Structure 1
Amino acid sequence: MCEDVENLARIAALETEVAQLRHAITAHATVDQAMGVVIACSGATPETAWEILRDVSQHTNIRLREIAEHIRQWPHCERLPEEVRHALDAAVRARCVSAPAAGV
């Protein structure tokens, strides 16, 4: 009987871990796609695109995954929440203007 309870607890823990891993994979893909949008719109490098997303998240106090989802959908809906748009504009200006030009 005790072994059955241990097995059920182990199964429940594994199911929770699988759900968390699935969520992480989805979140990672969303962030990667948002980085692609930032790169396409600003010419930023992948590292700079990541920093821009992080900056926008920190300056708006919105979770990075939610920022990434807004930016990922932006080309389709052609609209960003105003707070996100302003923070994105500021982050791109700060990160892309101060970054050294390629080949210099």
Structure 2
Amino acid sequence: MANIQYYDVILKPIVTEKSMELMGDKKYTFLVHTEATKSQIKEAVEKMFAGTKVKSVNTMNLDGKKKRVRGTFKYGKTAKTKKAIVQLTAESADIEIFEGL
């Protein structure tokens, strides 16, 4: 496994209708590095966002989608991704990225 620093773990937040509903329960969704573990994700969230305390982390490995190559009958695939849903504790501060959405 590669040596991943905490600032390389979280790639970007995922903003969808479902993830917005989960924010009411202090659950935030992120696209993370494919080799990141739950403990690395927890550490990265607590270091990157001041005042946050992570209760639990749920992860999902997503396969790449099958795509047709332009002009031919060949097929390729998009890259595999990993998604993490981070549950914060009740007394934890909210994450500022999602404020005002």
| TM-score range normalised by the length of the shorter chain | under 0.3
More strand per residue: 1 or 2?
2
Of structures 1 and 2, the one scoring higher in RCO (CA 8 A, sep 6+) is: 2
- Structure 1 or 2, whichever has the larger Rg, is 1
- TM-score normalised by L of structure 1: 0.23
More helix per residue: 1 or 2?
1
